[in-house]
Amino acid sequence: MKRGRYLRPLLLSLTGVLVAVLAGCSSQQPINFRVHTEPEGAHVIYRQDNLSWIYLGLTPLDTIEVIPEERLEDEHTLSLRVMRCGYLDQEKEWTGADLEREVSEKGQVFWTPRLIKNTE
């Protein structure tokens, strides 16, 4: 009899924790990044606002990153940078609203920078 008395509050607590975890996960937005460069083989990194850069991979790149939805608000930015030895780095920046609009219209973030040889 005593066991049942403690089991119900435990189950209710676990259910509450599960709901909180699932609600927290729903505030994430998967974004498909497609980056193609000419020539191929450039490294692609991104960052949100002025946080640390995160490596995505080599071009041609087609990957999905999960971005917190609050980072897609107007005052936030997301930057992509492509780098390849012998070429100048190139960078593109979106506001949160621009990024959200591009994803809703195109279903992805698509960028095709043409790399410029470094003559220095």
Interior angle at CA 21, CA 16 and CA 27, nearest 5: 130
Q: Is the pTM of this model over 0.75?
A: no
Position 10 scores a pLDDT of 62
Which residues of the chain register pLDDT less than 70? 1-26
Phi-psi map region of 57: left, alpha, beta (phi>0 left; psi -120 to 50 alpha) = left
Q: For residue 8, what pLDDT is reported?
A: 64
Give the H/E segment covering residue 56.
strand 54-58
Q: What integer pLDDT is reported at residue 117 of this predicted model?
A: 97
Which value, to the nearest 10 degrees, does the dihedral of the CA atoms of residues 53, 57, 61, 65 take? -50
Q: How far is residue 34 from each of residues 12, 20, 45, 107, 108, measured CA to CA in Å? A: 44, 33, 12, 11, 7
pLDDT for the residue 64: 94
* Distance separating alpha carbons of residues 97 and 90, to the nearest angstrom: 22
Q: Would you state the pLDDT for residue 15?
A: 66
pLDDT recorded at residue 80: 97
